[in-house]
Amino acid sequence: MYKSVIIGTGPAGLTAAIYLARANLNPLVIEGPEPGGQLTTTTEVENFPGFPEGIMGPELMANMRKQAERFGAQFRSGWINSVDLSKRPFTLSLEGGETLQAETLIISTGASAKYLGIPGEKDNVGRGVSTCATCDGFFFRGKKIIVVGGGDSAMEEANFLTRFASELTLVHRRDELRASKIMQDRARENPKISWSLNRTPLEVLSGENGVTGLKVRNNETGEEEIIEAQGVFVAIGHTPNTKFLGGQVETDEHGYIITKPGSSETNVPGVFACGDVQDNKYRQAITAAGSGCMAALDCEKFLEGAVTQDWSVSLG
């Protein structure tokens, strides 16, 4: 029986762990399939406050983990397959069959960017392939950029990236865009954006210094074409990692957990959510960390008020 279990070790989960551990609540932190979270897949992080020269993503995450361990947070590998939130204490089932019981739960399982699944794509993440314009746009000053996608976020990322790009090509596999008219109009009025519609991405091309272009098939003629670029931004959406919750926590239509405005509380008392798993908008390390702090403080308050419940007899 744990007073608090945190699921996920990205910036949200580790910040929650630092706060709960410093409040003497000895949280258990489950690492999941990606220990350290998304930032372990990137190189330099230049926008996390406190590091004027920037810091490598894996180093930043290793530091956060050390900080949580220093105050008594316990870590364990493995990931949560399913949960039973119908009564407290909550039951969490780990892959492999083991179960854990927790009085409170902090969900910080992030949202995974969708990839195209084409050759050369995953190998070049951090070498020219990106799923985050806010994070990586600055690295592409004066460079040619491709944005792949046809929704609102692709239009938004494309417009934003023209601040840095010498030229920007928007690639979409259909003739028509899914984006709202206002977002399309904004992109179409942008003189730096050219359009390669009705093109299916086939392969990200790269050389010694990273990405060199994108091979696409022209769906009308069937011919293959190469679009030269040093950056390929894949903007086809994210999948929040909430499947293991089996619908027991309220989510929006895309699967993002809904939290009470200005708080980390979910619709289930004692269950809190922080980071990208409940944030369809900002999806940054610093916002994830900030909401991790909120979740820990909300959880602490909940535990203070909850000790009179029946199940408190099993409190350590």
Ligand X SMILES: Cc1cc2nc3c(=O)[nH]c(=O)nc-3n(C[C@H](O)[C@H](O)[C@H](O)COP(=O)(O)OP(=O)(O)OC[C@H]3O[C@@H](n4cnc5c(N)ncnc54)[C@H](O)[C@@H]3O)c2cc1C
Give the contacts of 41 (CB within 8 A, at least 6 positions apart). 34, 57, 125, 126
Least distance (Å) from ligand X to the CB of residue 201?
18
Q: How many CA atoms lie within 13 A of 91 on its CB side?
A: 7
DSSP 245: G
84 CB-near residues (< 8 Å, 6+ apart): 90, 91, 93, 248
Provide the minimum distance between the beta carbon of 275 and ligand X in the complex, in angstroms, as a whole number. 2
Task: Note if 135 is an active site residue.
Answer: yes
Smallest distance, Å, CB 90 to ligand X? 14
Q: Any contact of residue 285 with ligand X (CB under 6 A)? A: yes
If binding is defined by CB under 6 A, does position 23 make contact with ligand X?
no
184 vs 179: CA distance, rounded Å: 6
Contact status: 295 vs ligand X (CB under 6 A): no
**Catalytic residue among 84, 132, 152, 293, which?**
132
* Amino acid, res. 142: G
Q: Judging by beta carbons within 10 Å of its beta carbon (0-12, 13-18, 19+), is residue 273 exposed, middle or buried?
A: buried
Whether 136 is a known active-site residue: answer: yes
For ligand X, the closer of residues 116 and 135 by Cβ is: 135
**21, 29, 42, 303: which one binds ligand X (CB under 6 A):** 42
The verdict on 240 binding ligand X (CB under 6 A) reads no
Count of beta carbons in the 10 Å neighbourhood of residue 47: 12
Closest separation between CB of residue 124 and ligand X, Å? 11
Q: How many CA atoms lie within 13 A of 277 on its CB side?
A: 29
CB nearer to ligand X: pick between 40 and 184: 40
CB nearer to ligand X: give 107 or 171: 107
Report the nearest approach of ligand X to the CB of residue 297 (Å).
Answer: 16
Total residues at interface with ligand X (CB under 6 A): 41
Nearest by Cα to 275 from 94, 73, 9: 9
| Residue in this structure with the two tokens 């609102």, named with its chain if needed | 152
Q: State the amino acid at position 221 in one-letter form.
A: T
- 9, 31 Cβ separation under 8 angstroms: yes
Kindly identify the residues of this chain, within the stretch 244-263, that bind ligand X according to CB under 6 A. Answer: 244
Secondary structure of residue 271 in the 3-state scheme: strand
84 part of the active site: no
Q: Which is nearer to ligand X, 43 or 219 (CB)?
A: 43
Positions touching ligand X (CB under 6 A) are: 7-13, 30-35, 37-39, 41-42, 45, 47-48, 79-80, 108-110, 113, 125, 131-132, 135, 241, 244, 275-277, 283-286, 288
Active-site residues, by number, are 132, 135-136
